[in-house]
Amino acid sequence: MKRKVAGITFIIGSLYYIIAEAISATYFNASIFNTYLFHTISELGIPNGNSPLSWLMNSSFILIGLVMLFGSFYKFKDFIVKNNIAYYIFTVITALGVIIVGLIHGGNPLTSGYHTLGAVMAILGGNILLVLVSRSMNEFSNYQKATLVLGVIGLLAFWIMFFSMGNVYMPTIERLSVYPLIVWSFLTGFYLIRN
């Protein structure tokens, strides 16, 4: 029963994020194509005229963070057979980072540093967590292989983004570094329900 509860929680969190971003992007002050291509995820969370549904985007950050904490500590931790301390540390770092991003938006010079710190904790910490998870379970099945691939993609995209801050396509690269964690959350939900 605990597996199913945790699994459903992971799935709901990931779907909510994807839907919330799509709706927020639809109402952003640009075409949806340009929003995904040229505007960062953080921009969707800034409460101004450009993003009238910023509250929706920020709620999805907070929910993903809470889902990670609940699902991971409620049941998924039982599947981690080694590197337990590192797993707990990076789970907390990632979850708190995403929650910080949702609570402290970018665009404000007084708080943007905290927002950036949260983003690094969430993105870098999250993708390290995926690689760690893939190597800390009892077997190396398709789920672990997919988790490893997602983590590597996310880490590569993060480093490309880090050195491409002035690039007009940086928001696209940013999404490539963020989406692995969202996809992993979805896959983990089904993994818990099926196992």
Q: Taking the model in full, what pTM does it have?
A: 0.93
pLDDT number for residue 20: 97
pLDDT at 167: 85
Spatial neighbors of 82 by CB under 8 A, at least 6 apart, are 136
Q: What is the pLDDT of residue 42?
A: 93
Q: Which two tokens stand for residue 165?
A: 């801050």
Supply the DSSP string of 64-130, one letter for each residue. Answer: HHHHHHHHHHHTGGGGB-S-HHHHHHHHHHHHHHHHHHHHS-SS-TTTHHHHHHHHHHHHHHHHHHH
What pLDDT, on the 0 to 100 scale, is given for residue 169?
Answer: 85
How many whole angstroms separate alpha carbon 101 and alpha carbon 116? 8
Per the CB < 8 A criterion, the answer to whether 102 and 45 are in contact is: yes
Terminal CA-CA length for the chain: 11
Q: Alpha carbon of 98 to those of 12, 90, 93: distances in Å?
A: 16, 12, 9
What does the pLDDT read at residue 76?
92
β-bridge partners, 184:
none
Mean pLDDT of each 10-residue bin along the chain, 195 residues long: 92 97 95 92 92 95 96 92 95 97 89 93 97 92 96 96 86 95 96 90
Q: How far is CA 127 from its chain centroid?
A: 9
Per the listing, tokens 């597996």 go with 3
Report the b/e string of 12-48 with b at 16+ CB within 10 A: bbbebbeebbeebbeebeeeeeebbeebbbbbbbbee
- Mean pLDDT, the chain, whole residue set: 94
pLDDT score for 9: 96
Which pLDDT belongs to residue 154? 97
Phi, psi of 47 (to 5 degrees): -75, 85
State how far the Cα of 155 lies from the Cα of 138, in Å rounded to an integer: 24
The Cα angle at residue 42 between residues 47 and 113, in degrees rounded to 5 = 95
Can you give the pLDDT at residue 55? 95
Give the pLDDT confidence score for residue 181 in this predicted structure.
97
